[in-house]
Structure 1
Amino acid sequence: MNRNQISTGQMISLMLMFEIGVAAVINLGFSAGRDAWMASLIGMIFGAVLFWFYTSISRHFPTLPLTAISRKLLGKYAGAAVGLMYVIYFMYIGSRNLREGSNLINIVLLNNTPLVVITTLMVCCVAYVTYLGFEVLARTAVLLMVFIFSIVLIINVLLFASGSVHVDYILPILADGIGPLWEAITTDTLIVPFGEMILFLMLLPYMRRPEKGGYIGVISIIIGGLLITQTMFLNVASLGLNIAKGSPFPVLSTISTIQISDFIQRVDILVVMTMIITNFYRVALYFTAVLIGASDIFNIPYRKLVIPVAFIFLIWSYSMARNYIFQIEFGVLAFYYVHPLFLFFFPSLLLVAAWIHKRRQRRSTTIA
């Protein structure tokens, strides 16, 4: 995979696709009740700080992916073990996103099509695009972001024009105190999608200026965080808390409230297209990160890994959960037991190791 191919604009587009994709297919922050939008907003602020923390690791080795950095700092065997665990972690999240996207298509569009057929077609598309190269994925992201922002603007105008938005639905603010809000931030909106941005430590070395990754990430988190916040705000303000919380796809339920003089209605298809596109990019980015990591650890050309990785994604995604509800419940366990290890513990370990590595280099330079 060629390095120095991805521009700043392309990387920001990829990051925005990654962030927006998760808000479209799962419920975020509803443990905070009506204050879910506030949980997203504060999670965005903490997420920007967290990403800056992540890139403080990569700034020591801007041309190396996370798997190579771990070997550099922790040694050949311990570093390879940590890197391999990250590859498996990215594979799990990517397979989960693949399942969520397949469920969306199955529930909304293709009710009578077997889930395995939808999942197979999706993973084949992802495998084909990633086989063509990371730069192809990045170039198309820029074009599709224009389409997605246009759809977001149109939907916002239609929601307000149709009178679907009721601001009183989000009142009173902090009615249950700060406890539920803090719980939603620490166990939900900080981790997804902002904590998951650690994925980009695998991708930043392919930028033309990888040392700018921290600034680019913070900018994209602010833009994406504001979009997610306004989406959650509109979900509750249009549907009310109980309906928004109980809907498997609250964004679609919100859009279904749009009706202007029996002329403009049923604009769901625009949102479904957006949801499918952004979910596809999330899966493709995780797929790419797995290819880069496995190629780095096992020293195998990444194109030779495309078919085996696609097969693993397919099997893992299809066998992950019996149904959509069970999948969501299983994902809750990951918030408590899986994510903290990879989003907080290992990065902290690597940062301490990087600090020790830097001190040793200074000492050796002084002695020399």
Structure 2
Amino acid sequence: MKQEKISALQLFYVIIGFEIGNAMIYGLGADAKQDAWLTILIGMFCGLILMLIYTKLSEFYPGDTLIQMIPKIVGKYLAFPIILIYISYFSLLASTACRDFGELIVSSILIETPIAVVIGSFMVLMIYCLRGGVETFGRMGEIIFPVYIIALIVIWILLLSVEVFSLDNLTPVLGNGVKPVLKDVFPYRLTFPFGETIIITMFFPFLNKKQNARKVGIAVILIGGILLTFNSIMNLSVLGPEIYSINFFPLFRVTRMVSIADFLERFDVLIILLMVAGVFFKVGGWTFGAALGIAELFKLRQYRSVLLALGTIIPSLSLLYTTNFVTHVGFSREFITIYLHIPLQIIVPILLLCVAFIRNKFKPESSSV
């Protein structure tokens, strides 16, 4: 398989876009009410620990993706089912991100358009980009992420003009106690969005300077966490904790409240821009990880042909696994978080790191005998 290369900055753009992509639109930490921003901040610091685990694994096996590391750590027979689970996991999360995108678009601007058409059209463009290779994906990240950040900053500035904007909505801090905050941090905020950065292990081998892997990973968690925390503060300052906690897309709601001199309105088009850009990174990351994993598992020469199959499976799965958006959110929160996120983002990587540490610790001794 031809080895492509991307720079540390390109990897940063792709993974931070992946991390905050659709998370900006959601009301993260809603159960903690006015302390939602605090759950994101604590989740960020916990996410740093996970990122250190992912980067340490990469240091042990610098030329390998996660899929390639697993057989070297646990053996090929035990590795096979674990790899299949990870590939299925990547594909499922690509489909949930597609569903998020489709639901927002058909509920806001394309009300009469079937959701299947919206998701299918987006997936065609996504596969076209990914077939250009990881270098093309990295260059697209350089173009799209700055646009994403500019749109986000414009939205935050506009929110300052909303009459009901007040930082008093953030008080009292820990007014409901520390329990709701900790309950939201683990497992929900740790796994989404910070734990999802496990996908970075599928990109590390393409980094042209592998010594920058840890710096990129830490920067992604810190900067992404700060952006999400600030975004939560802005949403809470406009909506207040009660309304914030019952909105699926609070950023979309607050942007619709912006009105400058009763003339400039309907800035929610910026939210659509954010969602398209964010889902580009999210779906692209998961789809690339699944395609590359399949190619490595079955020793294929390249992963581009696999993308065509995934381009059919992922949109279909996004429409079939739940009947409506409410059940989709419930499925993601309860089933995916508990039975997939926790084992595959936390438990399995920790076990892999422990075994890899033991193998590498005794490897020099055994080779010197």
Q: How high is the TM-score relative to the length of structure 1?
A: 0.96
Partner of 1:325: 326
- Aligned counterparts, 1:249-288, within 5 A: 249-288=249-288
**Contact 1:67–1:84 at 8 Å: present in 2 too?**
no
Helix, strand or coil: the match of 2:23? Answer: helix
Q: Is the 8 A contact 2:188 2:333 kept in 1?
A: no
Residue 59 (structure 1) aligns with: 59
In 2, distance between residues paired with 1:55 and 1:155?
34
Q: Kindly state the Cα deviation for residue 2 of structure 1 after the two structures are TM-superposed.
A: 4.2
Q: How far, CA to CA, are the matches of 1:187 and 1:28 in structure 2?
A: 13
- Larger deviation, residues 183-192 vs 158-167: 158-167
Q: 1:19 to 1:112 in 2, by over 3 A?
A: same
Q: Is the 8 A contact 1:130 1:284 kept in 2?
A: yes
> Aligned equivalents of 2:362 and 2:57: distance in 1?
16
In structure 2, the residue matched to 1:344 is 346
- Identify the residue that residue 35 of structure 2 maps to in structure 1: 35
Structure 1 segments unaligned to the other structure (5+ residues): none
1:169 and 1:288 map into 2 onto residues whose CA distance is 41
Aligned partners of 2:145 and 2:277 also within 8 Å: no
- Per the alignment, do residues 296 and 340 of structure 1 end up closer, same or farther by CA in structure 2, a change over 3 Å counting? same
- Could you give the per-residue CA deviations for residues 206-237 of structure 1, whole angstroms, max 9, x where no partner exists? 11023321210111111111111111111111
**Aligned letter for 2:212?**
K
2 CA distance for matches of 1:242 and 1:180? 14
Partner SS for 1:26: coil
Match of 1:82 in 2: 82
**1:4 positional shift:** 4.8
Contact 1:159 / 1:258 at 8 angstroms: preserved in 2? yes
Native 8 Å contact 1:22 1:193 kept in 2: no
The aligned counterpart of 1:360 is 362
Q: Mind listing any 5+ residue stretches in structure 2 that lack a counterpart? A: none
Query: What residue number does 1:177 align with?
Result: 177
Q: CA deviation at 1:119?
A: 1.4
Deviation at 1:26, TM superposition (A): 2.8
Answer yes or no: is the 8 Å Cα contact 2:187–2:342 preserved in 1: no
CA contact (8 A) 2:170 2:236 kept: yes
Q: Could you tell me whether the CA contact under 8 Å between 1:99 and 1:317 is conserved in 2?
A: yes
| Residues 290-342 of structure 1 deviation map (CA, whole Å, 9 limit, x = unaligned) | 01100000112212211111111122111021100110011122212221110
Q: 1-side partners of 2:95 and 2:53: how far apart? A: 26
Question: Which deviates further from its counterpart, 147-156 or 190-199?
Answer: 147-156
Describe how 1:187-206 pairs up with structure 2 within 5 A: 187-206=187-206
For 1:328 and 1:26, how far apart are their aligned partners in 2? 11
Q: Within 5 Å, which residues of 2 pair with 1:236-255?
A: 236-255=236-255
Aligned counterparts of 2:322 and 2:85: Cα–Cα separation in 1: 21
Q: Against the structure 1 CA distance between its residues 10 and 356, is the aligned structure 2 distance closer, same or farther, given a 3 Å change threshold?
A: same
Q: Distance in 2 between matches of 1:114 and 1:259?
A: 30
Distance in 2, matches of 1:319 and 1:360, equals 48
TM-score with structure 2 length normalisation?
0.96
**Matched pairs, number:** 367
Does 2:310 match 1:309? Answer: yes
**1-structure distance, mates of 2:152, 2:327:** 30
Give how far 1:176 is off.
1.0
The structural deviation recorded for 1:171 is: 0.9
Quote the offset at 1:164 in angstroms. Answer: 4.3
- The 1-side partners of 2:182 and 2:311 are apart by 38
* Residue 226 (structure 2) aligns with: 226
Aligned residue identity for 1:29: G
1:113-152 Cα deviation digits (max 9, x unpaired): 1111111112111111111111111101112222122122
